[in-house]
C-alpha cells in the first residue's frame, strides 16, 4: 500500500512479479486496486487489473474502486475501470453510487460517462437523495442540465420529502432553480416537515430566488413548521429585501404562527429596524400588526 500511495509504479510492478496477493486487503478493508483508484495512478491501476484485480470487489463499507476514483475526481482511472467492466451503478453500503458522487461534486464529464455506461439516473441512497438533488443542492447547473436531459425526475424527494427545487432554493441557486422549474418541478412541493421552495428561499434571504418562485406561482402564504409563513421567516431572519418582495406580492400580514404572532409582532420582538421600516412603508403599524409580543 505504501508503494501505491507514493505512486511508485516500479515498486508495485516488482511486488506483483514477486507474487504479491493482488486482492489482499488491509485491516481497514483497502485492497490494492481500491487504494490505487483513490490515489488516481492510471499505470498502477492498469498493472493491478492486468494482474487479475477485480474492478468490482468492494472494500470495507461496500465502496468499489470506481466510486473511489469518482469521489477523488480521477476521470482517467474511472474511464479505465469502466472499460474493464466496473459496474457504473454499483452502490456502497450507504447506497452511494458513482453517479451521486459525480453529481455532488459537479463533475459533468464523469456524469456523462457514467450515464452512458448505464448508471441509473434516479437511484437513491440510504437518506433518499438522488444525483439530481445532490447536484441541485450544491448549485451545479450544468450537472443538473445533464441529469435532466438523461431523464432525472425533478419531482422526486429524499426521505424527508426535500426535492431538488427545495434543495436549490434554500441555498439560493437561482440558475438551478430556474432550470428545474422549466423542467416541470413543482413550485409548491412540500417536505415532510413543511418546507416549500419559497419558505426555504425566504428564510435564507435570497430575493432573486423568491422573485422567481413567486413569478412561477409559489403559494405566498404557505405555512410550514410552527405555522411560519415565508414573510415571517424573512422577518425573523432580518431579510428586509425579501420582506419587501413578499409584501409587494400580497403576503397576508394577519396570519399568525403557533405562538399567535404576526409578522409585525416578530419584527418588533427582534427589533429588526430595517424590516420595521419596510413594513411601515407598506402601511403596517400598531393597528395593522396585531398585538405586540413585547
Q: Are residues 105 and 168 in the same domain?
A: yes
Q: Are residues 82 and 104 in the same domain?
A: no
Q: Are residues 103 and 82 in the same domain?
A: no
Q: Are residues 230 and 179 in the same domain?
A: no
Q: Which three cell numbers stand for residue 70?
A: 469518482
Reply yes or no on whether the pLDDT at 90 is more than 70. yes
Is residue 82 a contact partner of residue 115, using CB atoms and an 8 Å limit? Answer: no
Reply yes or no on whether the pLDDT at 11 is more than 90. no
Work out the average pLDDT over 209-224: 98
Q: Half-sphere exposure of residue 4, counting CA atoms within 13 Å on the CB side?
A: 22
Answer yes or no: is 68 within a domain: yes
Is residue 181 a contact partner of residue 187, using CB atoms and an 8 Å limit? Answer: yes
Q: Are residues 71 and 123 in the same domain?
A: no
Answer yes or no: is 199 within a domain: no
Reply yes or no on whether the pLDDT at 294 is more than 70. no
Reply yes or no on whether the pLDDT at 122 is more than 50. yes
Question: pLDDT by residue (tens digit) across 13-40?
Answer: 888 888 888 888 887 888 999 999 999 9
Question: pLDDT by residue (tens digit) across 70-82?
Answer: 999 999 999 999 9
Q: Which three cell numbers stand for residue 6?
A: 507514493
Domain boundary among 87, 112, 134: 87
Domain boundary among 33, 55, 87: 87
Predicted confidence band of residue 12 (pLDDT cuts 50, 70, 90): confident
Q: Are residues 234 and 176 in the same domain?
A: no
Reply yes or no on whether the pLDDT at 291 is more than 80. no
Answer yes or no: is 209 within a domain: no
Answer yes or no: is 151 within a domain: yes
Answer yes or no: is 77 within a domain: yes
pLDDT in the model for residue 22? 87
Question: pLDDT by residue (tens digit) across 235-246?
Answer: 999 999 999 999
CATH of the domain at 54: 1.25.40.20
- Where in the sequence is the domain holding 47, given as residue range(s)? 1-87
pLDDT in the model for residue 287? 38
Can you give the chain as a three-state secondary structure string? CHHHHCCCHHHHHHHHHCCCCCCCCCCCCCCHHHHHHHHCCHHHHHHHHHCCCCCCCCCHHHCCHHHHHHHCCCHHHHHHHHHCCCCCCCCCCCCCCHHHHHHHCCCHHHHHHHHHCCCCCCCCCCCCCCHHHHHHHCCCHHHHHHHHHCCCCCCCECCCCCEHHHHHHHCCCHHHHHHHHHCCCCCCCCCCCCCCHHHHHHHHCCHHHHHHHHHCCCCCCCCCHHHCCHHHHHHHCCCHHHHHHHHHCCCCCCCCCCCCCCHHHHHHHHCCHHHHHHHHHCCCCHHHHCCCCC
pLDDT in the model for residue 206? 98
Average predicted confidence (pLDDT) for the chain: 94
What pTM value is reported for the model? 0.92
Answer yes or no: is 186 within a domain: yes
Question: pLDDT by residue (tens digit) across 193-205?
Answer: 999 999 999 999 9
Question: pLDDT by residue (tens digit) across 111-120?
Answer: 999 999 999 9
Q: Are residues 61 and 107 in the same domain?
A: no
Residue listed under C-alpha cell 447536484 = 135
Q: Are residues 68 and 132 in the same domain?
A: no
pLDDT in the model for residue 289? 40
Q: Are residues 111 and 181 in the same domain?
A: yes
Answer yes or no: is 211 within a domain: no
Q: Are residues 47 and 121 in the same domain?
A: no
Least confident of 60-69, 106-115, 255-264, 279-288: 279-288
Q: Are residues 118 and 153 in the same domain?
A: yes
What pairs with residue 157 in β-bridges?
163
User: What is the total count of domains within the chain?
Assistant: 3
Answer yes or no: is 205 within a domain: no
- CA 108 – CA 98 distance, rounded (Å): 12
What pairs with residue 163 in β-bridges?
157
Amino acid at each position: 500500500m505504501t508503494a501505491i500511495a507514493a505512486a511508485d509504479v516500479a515498486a508495485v510492478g516488482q511486488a506483483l512479479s514477486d507474487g504479491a496477493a493482488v486482492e489482499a486487503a488491509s485491516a481497514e478493508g483497502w485492497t490494492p486496486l481500491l487504494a490505487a483508484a483513490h490515489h488516481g495512478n492510471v499505470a498502477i491501476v492498469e498493472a493491478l487489473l492486468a494482474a487479475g484485480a477485480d474492478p468490482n470487489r468492494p472494500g470495507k463499507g461496500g465502496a468499489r474502486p470506481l466510486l473511489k476514483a469518482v469521489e477523488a475526481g480521477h476521470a482517467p482511472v474511472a474511464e479505465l475501470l469502466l472499460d474493464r467492466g466496473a459496474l457504473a451503478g454499483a452502490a456502497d453500503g450507504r447506497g452511494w453510487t458513482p453517479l451521486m458522487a459525480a453529481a455532488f461534486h459537479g463533475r459533468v464529464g464523469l456524469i456523462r460517462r457514467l450515464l452512458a455506461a448505464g448508471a441509473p439516473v434516479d437511484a437513491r441512497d440510504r437518506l433518499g437523495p438522488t444525483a439530481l438533488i445532490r447536484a441541485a443542492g450544491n448549485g451545479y447547473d450544468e450537472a443538473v442540465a445533464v441529469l435532466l436531459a438523461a431523464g432525472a425526475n425533478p419531482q422526486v424527494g429524499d426521505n424527508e420529502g426535500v426535492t431538488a427545487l427545495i434543495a436549490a432554493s434554500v441555498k439560493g441557486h437561482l440558475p438551478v432553480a430556474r432550470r428545474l422549474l422549466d423542467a416541470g418541478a413543482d413550485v409548491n412541493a412540500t417536505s415532510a416537515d413543511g418546507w416549500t421552495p419559497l419558505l426555504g428561499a425566504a428564510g435564507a434571504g435570497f430575493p432573486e430566488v423568491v422573485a422567481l418562485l413567486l413569478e412561477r406561482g409559489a403559494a405566498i402564504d404557505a405555512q410550514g413548521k410552527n405555522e411560519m409563513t415565508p414573510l415571517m421567516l424573512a422577518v425573523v431572519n432580518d431579510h428586509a429585501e425579501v420582506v419587501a418582495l413578499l409584501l409587494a406580492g400580497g403576503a397576508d400580514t394577519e396570519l399568525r404562527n403557533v405562538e399567535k404572532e404576526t409578522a409585525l409582532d416578530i419584527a418588533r420582538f427582534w427589533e429588526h429596524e430595517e424590516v420595521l421600516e419596510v413594513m411601515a412603508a407598506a402601511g403596517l403599524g400598531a393597528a395593522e400588526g396585531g398585538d405586540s409580543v413585547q
